[in-house]
Structure 1
Amino acid sequence: MKTMIEPFRIKMVEPIRFTVRSERETLLQTAGLNLFRLRAEDVTIDLLTDSGTGAMSSDAWAALVQGDESYAGAKSWYRFEAAVQKIFGFPHVIPTHQGRAAERLFASLLIRPGMVIPNNTHFDTTRANIEVAGGKAIDLPCPEASDLALEAPFKGDMDVAALELLIANVGAHHIPAILLTITNNSGGGQPVSMANIRAVSKLAHFHGIPLYIDACRFAENAYFIQQREAGYQQMPVAEIVQELFAYADGCLMSAKKDAFANIGGFLCTRDAQLAEEWRRLLILTEGFPTYGGLAGRDLEAIAVGLHEVLDENYLRYRIASTGYVAERLHQLGIPAVRPAGGHAVYIDARRFLPHIQPLQYPGQALAVELYLEAGIRTVEVGTVMFGRDAHTGTEQPAKWDLLRLSMPRRVYTQSHMDYVIEAIALVWQRREQIRGLKIVNQPPYLRHFSAQFEWI
């Protein structure tokens, strides 16, 4: 059959509230033109993030009932730990309430002022936690990543030559770890090849530097490897995952992505001493090491979700549904990152709104216009998110200004996506009328979550 269908049936529905443009104008002004500050009930289609917004399966809901809420040594913890160890292969598992808590633990023990953490591209909370600890987050995307329209299979790769040069310049003793984000969220949701993971691992271990993987979307990345990389077409995704993590010394994960959970995360390592130090710190910030800030029912749901996400029927549907939106936009001449990523479609806001300068935040301006047009909430990945130096406070344009349309897992149907495509097309028709923005209030870190804007 040529027709792609969702590999599930819908068992429960949630109503959507519709608003009119005049209402949305008032709501946006009250929110300071920041879509994070809107009430969710005032959003028609919510593509702000794929984090914690997915729909759980009947098996995951059933698992919630089995949640053991014992403070220490709960049965749910052991089921969670076994699932993580089986899939990822790391002996030491530290649970956290979500991914950024794992980042905080990671940074607190490994990073000292002046140290450097390279990545293919750091995401916002990862970068912030490194900077708060006094470190410097360095992005080393591969050369292909700079051409957003280039049809290359693994634009999420790290630039290995640039990594080698960085190690030579700053010294391995100033690099406590190398991070590799799969898929590369801030780089357009692009996958990382097994060859690149292998090369980064070899270089890191030659210099005695541990390699950690940001594993939020590990299953999507593994599916891309199966589909695009020579030698992996006949290998099950679960086996690709095991090989992938065999090259690493540990991982960080938000279970709110590729584990279908509404909350949760974990930090894994092969280093027993480091794991024990992280557990001690965990007790101060998250809770006892057998629950880490999570209820037993959440541990149960994550254990189920980690196995479900390896279903290749689901992954085929997931990647195809995101690709459907990207291809339709491409047919309409709307500039977006090519090829489509796994969890999101990224519109090139600078090419969409070439008359708006980067320091007038074209990505945020486009996000505001799309909400005004049709009640669709998205997020800017660009100069608002990454344009300010956390140490000096100075601002400069980010490498690019993107509008990310994150697809919640198993939530929206094709007709919802057709509505989104139609709305983007309408905004595209009147793009020359859109104005830039200025920031009138902002916090020192992660300003995109709560900054307030005004029209220029």
Structure 2
Amino acid sequence: MSEPVFRTIIEPFRIHSVEPIRMTTAEERRAHLAAASYNLFQLHADDVLIDLLTDSGTGAMSRDQWAAIQRGDESYAGSPSYFTFRDAVRELFDFEHVIPVHQGRAAERILMSVLGGPGKAVPNNTHFDTTRANVEATGAEAVDLVVPEGKDPASLHPFKGNMDLAALDALLAARGADVPCVFVTITNNSGGGQPVSLANLRGVRELCDQYGKPLFLDACRFAENAWFIREREEGQAGRDVADIVRDIAALADGMTMSAKKDPMGNIGGWLALDDPDLAQECRNVLILTEGFPTYGGLAGRDLEALAQGLKEAVQHDYLRYRITSTAYLGDALQKAGIPVLEPTGGHAVYIDARALLPHVDPLHYPGQSVAVALYELGGVRTCEIGTVMFGRRPDGTERPAAMDLVRLAVPRRTYTQSHIDYVIEVCERLAERAHRLPGYRISEEPKALRHFTARFEPLT
């Protein structure tokens, strides 16, 4: 007898402790927005009802992770907690050198400070914001080479995060001496949380071997990517996710990791690689900026929590719930006539703000307009992934990003279905008044990563 299929998505856990959400009024939220110069990063978290700004470090840790924290050993050098952490990483990613850092951007900065530099070019399917900033901070060029389908919000290609192999081949042929390494981001966050296929990764590996270039993974959402491979790629159905992850890792020479994503941490990350000389150079930078190589800016208790989180990240019941519940939100918004990037990604739903607000010029930031309106209407905090984040070029000029999206990133094991149903209602209210939403201008901005601290003003 086959297993019955039910419509209701149930969380594969029970709630053990809770934290309160402070309810606010629309009038209060309008005042909070004005005080924050319409930048949602500048809001106080206490003034947010449902926080979908990011899934980075915002998830709920498990009972077993909290228990692991009690085993944390805080020795400055040679802590046993480091070796627990290292072995958990190697169980999935068999790299010789595992270097802990306080979060993923530190791993990017360390690696790029060694490999980057003026005149160099670092290809990626799509760089995310901190990756791009750390590449460009060295004077190197961050080159995005995602497949054409990855730039089309309506495309239903199952692996829209794939690297454009022909474009990568052309870049390596033309500028091979300028390329210190090749990166692939799994899943492709800037492109809508879209996965990369195992076949595509093998193709990237072949090109890296042909041109003698190391391949690095930005592997923050490795488990979600592996689940999509299991569900969508020919020949991968029914496989254990952990084995797919090992296959992915075997194709690379190293990785950067923000462990605040799939490894279920509230803080932490690592840089892992096989090259002993490169590892030594990276450790030298680590000691200058992060800490001793067996703690790298983390407490022993953080290392223990991440070791346990890595085990939980590849559990099938969890991943099935994770991907299905995100798709539940995406499907509901589509049914309501709200344009979203298809198919739904693993960690987030991305509203196509450019399609929803055709009256707002991309250089007037339709994504920012949608994000501000979602908070004002219902206290839902989201994140613009578009021209605010990616429109300014290294030379200071500005042009529209490939897409103007608003990311609704779902923290892991944090919200219930009723919370998501509330978000759906807020989005429906937004769609009713989308034609009246204004554009925005930036009144003040920093030189790098402007979306974090820029000040905005609505256009009238």
TM-score (normalised: structure 2): 0.98
Q: Distance in 2 between matches of 1:452 and 1:242?
A: 44
Q: 1:144 corresponds to which letter in structure 2?
A: E
Q: 2:84 corresponds to which letter in structure 1?
A: R
Aligned residue in 1 for 2:279:
275
Q: 1:198 corresponds to which letter in structure 2?
A: R
Alpha-carbon shift at residue 25 of structure 1 (Å): 0.7
Q: 1:62 corresponds to which letter in structure 2?
A: A
Q: Distance in 2 between matches of 1:235 and 1:369?
A: 42
Aligned residue in 2 for 1:334:
338
Alpha-carbon shift at residue 281 of structure 1 (Å): 1.0
Alpha-carbon shift at residue 167 of structure 1 (Å): 1.1
Per-residue CA deviation, residues 366-406 of structure 1 (Å, 9 max, x unaligned), is 0000000000000000000000012x100111111000000
Alpha-carbon shift at residue 57 of structure 1 (Å): 0.3
Say which of 366, 371, 386 aligns to 1:362.
366
Alpha-carbon shift at residue 168 of structure 1 (Å): 1.6
1:272-311 correspondence runs (5 A) = 272-311=276-315
1:278-427 correspondence runs (5 A) = 278-390=282-394, 392-427=395-430
Q: 1:313 corresponds to which letter in structure 2?
A: D
Q: 2:173 corresponds to which letter in structure 1?
A: A
Matched, 1:226 2:240: no
Q: Distance in 1 between matches of 2:409 and 2:238?
A: 29
Q: 1:429 corresponds to which letter in structure 2?
A: E
Aligned residue in 2 for 1:187:
191
Matched, 1:197 2:190: no
Q: Distance in 2 between matches of 1:156 and 1:107?
A: 23
Alpha-carbon shift at residue 104 of structure 1 (Å): 0.3
Q: Distance in 1 between matches of 2:281 and 2:171?
A: 28
Q: 1:59 corresponds to which letter in structure 2?
A: D
Aligned residue in 2 for 1:450:
453
Alpha-carbon shift at residue 146 of structure 1 (Å): 2.1
Aligned residue in 2 for 1:120:
125
Aligned residue in 1 for 2:18:
13
Alpha-carbon shift at residue 317 of structure 1 (Å): 0.3
Q: Distance in 1 between matches of 2:243 and 2:320?
A: 17
Q: Distance in 1 between matches of 2:342 and 2:350?
A: 9
Q: Secondary structure at the match of 1:187?
A: coil
Q: 1:41 corresponds to which letter in structure 2?
A: D
Matched, 1:436 2:455: no
Q: Distance in 1 between matches of 2:402 and 2:151?
A: 8
Moved over 6 A (4+): none
TM-score (normalised: structure 1): 0.99
Q: 1:433 corresponds to which letter in structure 2?
A: R
Q: Secondary structure at the match of 1:405?
A: strand
Aligned residue in 1 for 2:72:
67
Q: Secondary structure at the match of 1:13?
A: coil
Per-residue CA deviation, residues 193-239 of structure 1 (Å, 9 max, x unaligned), is 00000000110111000000000000000000000001111210000
Q: Distance in 1 between matches of 2:213 and 2:155?
A: 32
Q: Distance in 2 between matches of 1:136 and 1:147?
A: 24
Alpha-carbon shift at residue 147 of structure 1 (Å): 1.8
Aligned residue in 1 for 2:269:
265
Contact 2:72 2:299 (8 Å CA) reproduced:
yes
Alpha-carbon shift at residue 276 of structure 1 (Å): 1.1
Q: Distance in 1 between matches of 2:319 and 2:168?
A: 31
Instruction: State the superposition RMSD in angstroms.
Output: 0.6
Q: Distance in 1 between matches of 2:424 and 2:392?
A: 32
Q: 1:443 corresponds to which letter in structure 2?
A: P
Per-residue CA deviation, residues 93-150 of structure 1 (Å, 9 max, x unaligned), is 0100000000000100001211000000000000000000110000011011122111
Q: Secondary structure at the match of 1:180?
A: strand
Matched, 1:33 2:38: yes
Matched, 1:256 2:268: no
Matched, 1:104 2:104: no
Q: Distance in 2 between matches of 1:276 and 1:49?
A: 33
Per-residue CA deviation, residues 309-352 of structure 1 (Å, 9 max, x unaligned), is 01000000000000000001111111000000000000000001
Per-residue CA deviation, residues 3-39 of structure 1 (Å, 9 max, x unaligned), is 3311101000111001101111111000000000000
Q: Distance in 1 between matches of 2:237 and 2:424?
A: 32
Matched, 1:157 2:162: yes
Q: Distance in 2 between matches of 1:320 and 1:149?
A: 20
Aligned residue in 1 for 2:27:
22
Pick which of 441-450 and 138-147 moved more: 138-147
* Identity rate, percent: 59
Pick which of 292-301 and 269-278 moved more: 269-278
Q: Distance in 2 between matches of 1:315 and 1:295?
A: 28
Aligned residue in 2 for 1:131:
136
Q: 1:388 corresponds to which letter in structure 2?
A: R
Per-residue CA deviation, residues 408-449 of structure 1 (Å, 9 max, x unaligned), is 000001110010010011010011110000000000000000
Alpha-carbon shift at residue 298 of structure 1 (Å): 0.2
Aligned residue in 1 for 2:177:
173
